[in-house]
Amino acid sequence: MLVFLLIGEVIGRIGLVDRSYLPPASSVLARAGGLLTDGGFLQDVAWTLKVWAVGLLIAVVIAVPVGLLLGSLPVVNSAVRVLIEFLRPIPAVALIPLVILMIADQAQIEQTLAAYAAMWPILINTVYAVGDVDPVPREMARSFGLGRAVILARVALPSVAPFVATGIRVASSIALIVTISTELTAGGGEHGIGIFILNASSDATHADVVFAAAGIAGLLGYLIDVTMRTIERRLFRWHYERLGRAS
């Protein structure tokens, strides 16, 4: 990262590229520091994070139960596999025009698309994790007369939980990307990091503001990933110890 910033500084200083297009890294960092103390920009950050969190929560609420169901019922999984593989590759941003026709509120548009994009890694991780549950404890529980629902809750779910957590961590980054991308592409809103970048990009002299806001968005993604990874390792320390990884 330091090398990357140094290269950007040198290119900007020697005039290899017009500063209005690629300002020096020092100017971008200074602008980023100013944005982090700007109440208006912080409100945009808070808006984006709120929408991101709601979208991710919706994805978890939908994907985890559906994944448990599909993973525990191979016949149902086979029946809907084609539909899942058809919908999963569709970019969430490509659905913006369709969602706008159905939903008028900016927050709900972003939440819907973020949930759609974040749902797939959680769902796929959950389905495959349920399929890989050790059959021995499952059969033992069945021999003691436990029902399917109890086996799923007491045997399958604890084994699946670390993989679900990994899916949620991956989905959290995807949800943030889609949230900001929707703000940039759909426009028409008043709040959000994407709206801030879109407004700043309308002025050719504000390239440093655009780069600074984009850098802060990347920093948010990094902090979210680190936070999710830390929570994941603390909650499932036993899982990583069994894999021989340091917690």
| Angle formed by the axes of helices 39-72 and 193-201, nearest 10° | 130
pLDDT at 179: 94
Question: What are the DSSP calls for 32-98, one per residue?
Answer: HHHHTT-HHHHHHHHHHHHHHHHHHHHHHHHHHHHHHHHHH-HHHHHHHHHHHHHHTTS-GGGGHHH
How confident is the model over 51-77, as a mean pLDDT?
A: 91
Average pLDDT, the chain: 86
Q: For residue 94, give every residue at least 6 positions away whose Cβ sits within 8 Å of its Cβ, in sequence order, or none.
A: none
Q: Return the domain boundaries, the chain.
A: 38-242
pLDDT at 246: 46
Q: What letter represents residue 208's amino acid?
A: D
Residues 19-58 pLDDT 10s = 777 788 888 899 999 999 988 899 999 999 999 999 999 9
Whether the predicted model's global pTM rises above the 0.75 cut: yes
Do 70 and 83 touch, CB atoms closer than 8 A? no
CATH superfamily, domain 38-242, is MetI-like (1.10.3720.10)
Asked whether the predicted pLDDT for residue 154 surpasses 80, the reply is no
pLDDT at 247: 43
- Torsion sign, CA atoms 233, 236, 237, 241: negative
Residues 176-187 pLDDT 10s = 999 999 998 876
